[in-house]
Structure 1
Amino acid sequence: MGQAPNTLSAVEAARRIEAGTLTVEQLAEACLARIAEREPEVGAFAHIDPEAVRVAARASRADGPLRGLPVAVKDLIDTADLPAEYGSPIWAGNRPTEDAAVVTRTKAAGGLILGKTVTTEFAWRTPGKTRNPHNLAHTPGGSSSGSAAAVADCMAPLAFGTQTAGSVIRPAAYCGVVGFKPTFGTHDRRGVKLLAEYLDTVGCFARSVEDIAFFDYALRGETMPPLDGFDGAPPRLGIHVPFADRIDDDAAAALERVRIAAQTARASVVALVDWTAYEAMDEVHATVMTAGAARALAWEYDNAYDQLSEFYRETLTAGRAIDDAAYYDAQGKADKFRNEAAARLDGLDAILTVPASGEAPEGIGFTGDPMFNRIWTLLRWPCVTIPAGRGSHGLPVGVQIVTGYGEDARALAVASWLEKAMKAVE
């Protein structure tokens, strides 16, 4: 019996569709069957219309780089033919009049919109129904909860997320998939419900680095960069973990496994001298995010206060107390820090760090701490997380690769190299 189409990599599925050995309808039907089987337990989707997916699959010309591949869309991103409720009762039943720019791009590249995935309330804190597909008693992470879970459970080969603190990288790590937060501003945010304009970044999920690069660069309208770079030489990596005292043995062990695999494959790996400036910028991120949220969600606060969670009532009240001068001052500090931090990358291809404190926490009321993501998001640098084995409770753990502003192709190349290095020592 051949491999089920929904379990194929995105790249392999696209190849088979192009070769005529797989149809868009067959792939869509396999994804829908998996959703029908697992959705009652995992709860990855906020909205899905199977018949509309089938109609779109039949009508697909299987052209463009995405070849009709199903793509799940975080319900923070507008779709004209499906509701966009942003994880909030305030927007229940909301039907946008047009697609978000990234959805338009997806369709133009030949992608098939599969459905809308669960997001936490306005992409911050209050979670939805989604559970970790590896253990339903644990969180999938947030805020891109449904997207990470759907890709991990082979409901979709590709999915969109957004990140304002750690909302792509952390759930990808918890669910054992690849997550990519590109350089800030890479993808047009028109039609994405803003949370903090200075930080919000559209990212994506897949089950391999090659699939991530394939999807991301199809959206850019650019040729996928080579993933075997470095002119034949292994990468130069610097290990640094801000807030290192807050990670557990599982995260530390994953980082050590990857270090050993990298050095076995002849990479240069050095431990960076601790730099407390990273930790100091955590407060700056908090100011920018809180003030930004108060401005982005001003209408909801003024017109639907009673329908906001207690967290948002308190947070938006605090954010409104941050005046414009303080808000812009915090942004200025972040801009200055970005220039200073760039020097930390001299002589390195990437920083190797952790994406989370360890395995996904038990329970679905808390999506985990974005402490190990916030500073990189504030820097607006590209970040990739890749699976790095299992922790003490059998749940996935990962590592995170970070490169400088605009160095997205390098981040993906390092991640791909590490992915292969780890397989070589398994």
Structure 2
Amino acid sequence: MLSLVDLRTRISAGTLDPVGAVALSRDAIAAREASLGALVHVASDPVIPRDGPLAGIAVGIKDIIDTADMPTQMGSALYAGWRPKADAAIVSRLRALGAVPLAKTATCPFASRDPSATVNPHDSAHTPGGSSAGSAAAVAAGLLPLALGTQTAGSVIRPAAFCGIAAIKPSFRLLPTVGVKTFSWALDTIGLFGAGIRDVAQALALLADRPALDLPAGGIAAPRIGLVLQDFADSADPEAVAALQRAARAAEAAGATVTDLALPPQLAEAWAIHMTVQDFEARQALAWEYAHHREALGPDLRAELDGAQALDAASYDAARRTAHRARRVLKDLFGEVDALLTFSAPGRAPAGLTSTGDARFNRLWTLMGVPCVNLPVPGDGLPLGVQIVARFGDDGRALAVARAIEAALAR
């Protein structure tokens, strides 16, 4: 994989220049993309700035995020060839930092559950996850050192786990979603994919203009970690349970105190109503596509929107109140622990390309708006990941805890 930290270090030392750094991505794309289907457009002659903290960093942009110099096609034939007039706010920020938006990455149509054509870089017979399939696969295959995705349920953390890379779904609205195709305005969150925890930490600190998010190694002394199984979301596969236990032991070796933690019932209630919030808003966000092109939508999205037509405002308002109560309970819970350690996905990437996997271990945290980090757990076979969750606005702590466990797992 290409490491953002390594590339920045080499550019700073003068052993690599920005043009050469972008060329590494171009060469990797030429060598591997045809077998992956991770990219839907590659910029032919992008401007490569010589200056800026992200100069030389090629970035993949999920294809629901507007780019003025590349098509934004939403993973759907309905928007084939569509060219926005302006960059999304997050793309403008990347360019201001010197980064090079080099490619649009494949997305499930409208960031839904209908699979894209992307395959898992570790085994092409398995899904890379979704809906940020192309972003996760492109970073895992070494095509790009950084990619943007979005998460409404589990579309950043789950594909990162399936593809064996680091990722963060930041606190809600830490990164702007202006210029991003909406699915659910109360849930949609821009996330980042990178080779390791330090890579996404540096990228987030720069994009959010918050240097303190990139804490040094050991930046959180003796963290208190709650080990959470999310029993209300059903059980995980044995191999995922084993990976979680291995990560817990690594956290203890890094100086953390790890205790089993059962989540209060208000959080289980919130988990149960995530889809009500998501679908009520999706019905409105995709109203034009549904009204005029229903038959052209993917079968999963079409069925979801069909079901959403029966939702009423009273049900939606009740769901929002349930979520609000759960956020208060979760805030109190973080008075007892510094971070939570839980599953990123039920297990390894499922075989076949007809499903993007199950987001049941991600939905609650997206609804709560809290920062979540996927940390790969080394091992044989297809990748496994664990999820580190921190209180709202405490993205630096989530990343620091993940970085400490990452270092312990590598020892």
Question: What interval of TM-score do these two structures reach, taking the shorter chain for normalisation?
Answer: over 0.9
| Equivalent-residue separation in structure 1 for 2:399 and 2:330 (angstroms) | 20
SS at match of 1:372: coil
Shift of 1:144: 0.3
1:331 equivalenced with 2:325 (yes/no): no
- Give the corresponding residue for 2:364: 375
- Give the corresponding residue for 1:157: 145
| Equivalent-residue separation in structure 2 for 1:16 and 1:263 (angstroms) | 33
SS at match of 1:381: coil
Equivalent pair of 2:64/2:73 in contact (CA under 8 Å):
yes
1:356 equivalenced with 2:350 (yes/no): no
1:172 equivalenced with 2:166 (yes/no): no
Out of 402, 406, 421, the residue aligned to residue 393 of structure 2 is 406
Shift of 1:166: 0.2
SS at match of 2:300: helix
Out of 237, 240, 249, the residue aligned to residue 248 of structure 1 is 237
| Equivalent-residue separation in structure 2 for 1:166 and 1:86 (angstroms) | 18
Shift of 1:336: 1.6
| Equivalent-residue separation in structure 2 for 1:29 and 1:131 (angstroms) | 24
TM-score (norm. length: structure 1) = 0.93
Shift of 1:288: 0.4
Out of 174, 183, 188, the residue aligned to residue 200 of structure 1 is 188
Runs of 4+ in 1 over 4 A off after TM superposition: 229-232
Structure 1 residues 24-423: aligned runs within 5 Å: 24-49=18-43, 51-53=44-46, 56-57=47-48, 60-61=49-50, 63-228=51-216, 233-243=221-231, 245-390=234-379, 394-423=381-410
| Equivalent-residue separation in structure 2 for 1:112 and 1:354 (angstroms) | 33
C-alpha offsets along residues 22-81 of structure 1, whole Å, 9 cap, x if unaligned? Answer: 0122121221111111111111001113x324xx23xx22x2211221010000101011
C-alpha offsets along residues 148-176 of structure 1, whole Å, 9 cap, x if unaligned? Answer: 00000110000000000000000001100
Out of 13, 19, 25, the residue aligned to residue 7 of structure 2 is 13
TM-score (norm. length: structure 2) = 0.96
SS at match of 2:243: helix
| Equivalent-residue separation in structure 1 for 2:21 and 2:339 (angstroms) | 36
| Equivalent-residue separation in structure 1 for 2:91 and 2:216 (angstroms) | 29
| Equivalent-residue separation in structure 2 for 1:262 and 1:82 (angstroms) | 43
Shift of 1:147: 0.3
| Equivalent-residue separation in structure 1 for 2:27 and 2:212 (angstroms) | 31
- Select between 237-246 and 187-196 the one with higher mean Cα deviation: 237-246
SS at match of 1:370: coil
C-alpha offsets along residues 311-334 of structure 1, whole Å, 9 cap, x if unaligned? Answer: 222221322321223222211221
Equivalent pair of 2:64/2:111 in contact (CA under 8 Å):
yes
Letter in 1 for 2:369: R
Letter in 2 for 1:354: F
- Select between 308-317 and 407-416 the one with higher mean Cα deviation: 308-317
In the alignment, structure 1 segments of 5+ residues that lack a partner are 1-6
Superposition CA RMSD, Å? 1.6
| Equivalent-residue separation in structure 2 for 1:407 and 1:37 (angstroms) | 39
Shift of 1:224: 4.6
Shift of 1:8: 4.2
| Equivalent-residue separation in structure 2 for 1:21 and 1:232 (angstroms) | 33
SS at match of 1:114: strand
- Give the corresponding residue for 1:4: none
C-alpha offsets along residues 84-124 of structure 1, whole Å, 9 cap, x if unaligned? Answer: 11111111111111100000000001100110000001111
Letter in 2 for 1:78: D
Shift of 1:282: 2.6
C-alpha offsets along residues 352-385 of structure 1, whole Å, 9 cap, x if unaligned? Answer: 0010011000011101000000001011100001
Percent identity between matched residues is 44
Letter in 2 for 1:75: D
SS at match of 1:93: coil
| Equivalent-residue separation in structure 2 for 1:352 and 1:143 (angstroms) | 23
| Equivalent-residue separation in structure 2 for 1:237 and 1:64 (angstroms) | 37
| Equivalent-residue separation in structure 1 for 2:345 and 2:379 (angstroms) | 13
Shift of 1:226: 4.5
SS at match of 1:371: coil
| Equivalent-residue separation in structure 1 for 2:271 and 2:220 (angstroms) | 37
Equivalent pair of 2:107/2:116 in contact (CA under 8 Å):
yes
- Give the corresponding residue for 1:3: none
Aligned residues: 410
Shift of 1:221: 2.1
| Equivalent-residue separation in structure 2 for 1:390 and 1:317 (angstroms) | 42
In the alignment, structure 2 segments of 5+ residues that lack a partner are none
The alpha-carbon distance between structure 1 residues 202 and 232, as it changes in their structure 2 partners (threshold 3 A), is closer
Shift of 1:335: 1.3
Equivalent pair of 2:132/2:150 in contact (CA under 8 Å):
yes
C-alpha offsets along residues 171-198 of structure 1, whole Å, 9 cap, x if unaligned? Answer: 0011000010000011111110000111
| Equivalent-residue separation in structure 1 for 2:35 and 2:2 (angstroms) | 22
Letter in 1 for 2:63: D
Equivalent pair of 1:234/1:268 in contact (CA under 8 Å):
yes
Letter in 2 for 1:223: P
